[in-house]
Amino acid sequence: MNIYVCIKQVPDTETKIKLKPDFTWIDTGGIKWVMSPFDEYAVEEALRVKEKNAGSTVIVVSAGPTRVIECIRTALAMGADSGIHIEIPETADNNMTAKALANALKKEPANIGLVFTGKEAIDDGSAQVSQLLAGFLGFPYVSVVLNVEYGAQSVKCKREIEGGAYEIVETALPAIIATQKGINEPRYATLPNIMKAKKKEIKTYKTSDLGISEGDQKIKFKNFELPPPKQAGKKVSGDPAAQAKELARLLHEEAKVI
């Protein structure tokens, strides 16, 4: 069985976002790029399935500028077998990205068992690609998955919904599973595995190889804005009893939120 993991490279969560002077995109200068945290769970889950199913292969796919190859290498160092890089501009929308991923997977051997993704990428946070991919591949999907019980023909997923509730969803294979934090604890790459990863194969496609054209871009982000800076607030002083009393009064009488 071949297991695919679609990952995205994003700015590290500690990044302070700055904008380009013309507000058409963020200023990417000086950004530390990392694998989107939810994708780390996807990679880990794929590796665990592989370890329990001898003869399986894990292939990591990522779409983006050349820099995303580093991110593929990170997944290879965790233990994935090979990678596919799709060269696509960073301004590509979810539709174009998902179609490119789907068309790359359609070029692969037919024995796709599972496709993992993170439940969303923490940059645009759209949470669309796994479902779009499912649509383009004709596979079922389960999103925001916290646990999977694997069977030969189907899997049972625990899916997080609102209010601390869960759904137990059964789906036929092949399927797309979008992982949520909590599903597993991603491993760290060891030094020998980092060395080995350098020799693993990464295939590259251009969008033209995958039949992707400008018309596949369905939305565009524009007029980027930063949130307005906040005014410095009031400090509540005194001993703890005085602070508690004054804070309660301010919340009640001034902010009127109690």
Partner 1 sequence: MGKILVIAEQRDGKLKKSTFELLGLATQSGNETSAVLLGDGVSGLTKELEQYGATSIYLIQDASLKFYSAESYTLGVLEAIKQASPDIVLASHSPTGRDFMPKIAACLGVGLASDCTQAQISGVNLKVRRPVYAGKATVEVEFLGQGPRLATIRPNAIGAPKPISAQTAKVIPISIQFTGLKTKVIEIVKGNSARPDVAEAPAVVSGGRSLKSAENFKIIEELADVLGAAVGASRAAVDAGYRAHRDQVGQTGKVVSPVLYIACGISGAIQHLAGMRTSKCIVAINTDPEAPIFQVADYGVIGDLFAVVPLLKEELKKIKEH
Q: How far is the CB of 40 from partner 1 (least distance, A)?
A: 10
Tally of residues, the chain: 258
Q: How far is the CB of 93 from partner 1 (least distance, A)?
A: 7
- Please choose, from the candidates 4, 15, 65, 59, the residue with its C-alpha nearest in 3D space to the C-alpha of residue 37: 15
Query: Is the CB of 192 or the CB of 229 nearer to partner 1?
Result: 229
Query: Is the CB of 138 or the CB of 192 nearer to partner 1?
Result: 138
Residues with Cβ within 8 Å of residue 13, at least 6 apart in sequence: 37, 122
Query: Is the CB of 55 or the CB of 228 nearer to partner 1?
Result: 228
Q: Is the peptide bond before 65 cis (omega within 30 degrees of 0)?
A: no
* Contact in structure between 180 and 161 (CB atoms under 8 Å): no
Q: How far is the CB of 195 from partner 1 (least distance, A)?
A: 29
Q: How far is the CB of 231 from partner 1 (least distance, A)?
A: 8
Q: How far is the CB of 184 from partner 1 (least distance, A)?
A: 12
CA 209 to chain centre: 24
* Contact in structure between 172 and 154 (CB atoms under 8 Å): yes
Between CA 78 and CA 66 the distance in angstroms is 20
* Contact in structure between 80 and 104 (CB atoms under 8 Å): no
Q: How far is the CB of 95 from partner 1 (least distance, A)?
A: 6
In three-state secondary structure terms, 247 is helix
Tell me phi and psi for residue 247, to 5 degrees: -60, -45
In three-state secondary structure terms, 191 is helix
Query: Is the CB of 76 or the CB of 144 nearer to partner 1?
Result: 144
Between CA 201 and CA 115 the distance in angstroms is 19
Query: Is the CB of 58 or the CB of 101 nearer to partner 1?
Result: 101
Q: How far is the CB of 196 from partner 1 (least distance, A)?
A: 29
Query: Is the CB of 55 or the CB of 214 nearer to partner 1?
Result: 214
Query: Is the CB of 192 or the CB of 237 nearer to partner 1?
Result: 237
